[in-house]
């Protein structure tokens, strides 16, 4: 039984079966929804902007590389990570499809769900499930949807943080290539824990988080906190700018 989230070290509710908290599960859910949206752009980027062929020393035209290797590194085929050692840093360079498929297989094996199959004589055979069954094949959008559906289960498993971390790294590699980052909005009330003006609301987050300390607030908690501290802060600011007007207002 865990009492803190293995990804963000935030407190879990008492007697929770979780290893990953609700906020981290939500974040991973937005990442799995976002990943397939980068595919068209990545596929476009696969072909480099080819300039005119350059003349080599012998007078022959030298063709530039036909693909961008950094993009191919993400889109190409490859071997999934060896999940027997999930604490090793093995994700670097593993393309998207094998990485996602590797996790889907690992999850299926971990869940130990037997598959039932009826033969021609009507006899039911059950066997161990070898991998996720995906109608139409295991491509990135299907794998992301499949993994997304199993997130509530994944967030109770001891390997949750490895899954979370590898998906975070995968999305980071994709975003660095496509130059996209989730939108972040700065909040106007100070952090209740460290008092920094450092609370932000991110597009891929369930709540509001501090960029300086580990404070996290739900939208309701933030609204209550803001309603409590802002009138006093506004009065203080007014006092600093025009002490006389503040004294008059207080009288």
Q: Using CB under 5 A, list all residues that contact Zn ion.
A: 5, 7-8, 10, 21, 24, 191, 193-194, 210, 212-213, 215
Write down the least CB distance from residue 153 to Zn ion, Å: 16
Q: Are 18 and 155 in contact (CB under 8 A)?
A: yes
Q: Which two tokens stand for residue 216?
A: 């996290």
Q: What spatial distance separates the first Cα and last Cα of the chain, rounded to whole Å?
A: 57
How far, in Å, CA of 221 to CA of 227, rounded?
A: 10
Write down the least CB distance from residue 159 to Zn ion, Å: 15
Of 30, 20, 237, give the one whose Cα is nearest residue 148.
30
Residue number with CB closer to Zn ion (35 or 215): 215
Write down the least CB distance from residue 16 to Zn ion, Å: 11
Write down the least CB distance from residue 190 to Zn ion, Å: 8
Residue-wise DSSP of 106-132: HHHHHHTPEEEEE-TTS-EEEEE--S-
DSSP annotation of 37:
G
Residue number with CB closer to Zn ion (11 or 55): 11
Residue number with CB closer to Zn ion (218 or 242): 218
Residue number with CB closer to Zn ion (154 or 210): 210
């Amino acid at each position: 039984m865990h009492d803190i989230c293995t990804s963000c070290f935030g407190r879990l509710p008492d007697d929770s079966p979780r290893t990953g908290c609700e906020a981290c599960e939500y974040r991973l859910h937005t990442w799995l929804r976002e990943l397939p949206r980068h595919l068209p752009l990545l596929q476009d980027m696969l072909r480099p902007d080819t300039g005119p062929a350059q003349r080599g020393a012998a007078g022959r035209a030298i063709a530039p590389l036909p693909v961008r290797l950094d993009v191919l590194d993400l889109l190409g085929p490859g071997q999934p990570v060896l999940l027997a050692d999930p604490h090793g840093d093995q994700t670097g360079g593993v393309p998207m499809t094998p990485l996602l498929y590797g996790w889907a297989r690992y999850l299926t094996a971990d869940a130990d769900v037997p598959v039932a199959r009826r033969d021609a004589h009507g006899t039911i055979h059950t066997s161990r499930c070898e991998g996720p069954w995906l109608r139409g094949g295991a491509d990135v959008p299907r794998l992301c949807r499949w993994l997304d559906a199993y997130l509530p289960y994944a967030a109770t498993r001891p390997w949750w943080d490895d899954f979370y971390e590898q998906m975070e790294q995968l999305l980071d590699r994709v975003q660095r290539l496509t130059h996209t980052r989730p939108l972040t909005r700065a909040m106007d009330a100070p952090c209740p824990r460290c008092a920094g003006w450092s609370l932000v609301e991110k597009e891929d987050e369930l709540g509001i988080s501090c960029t300086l300390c580990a404070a996290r607030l739900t939208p309701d908690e933030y609204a209550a906190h803001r309603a409590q501290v802002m009138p006093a802060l506004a009065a203080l600011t007014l006092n600093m700018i025009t002490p006389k007007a503040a004294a008059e207002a207080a009288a």
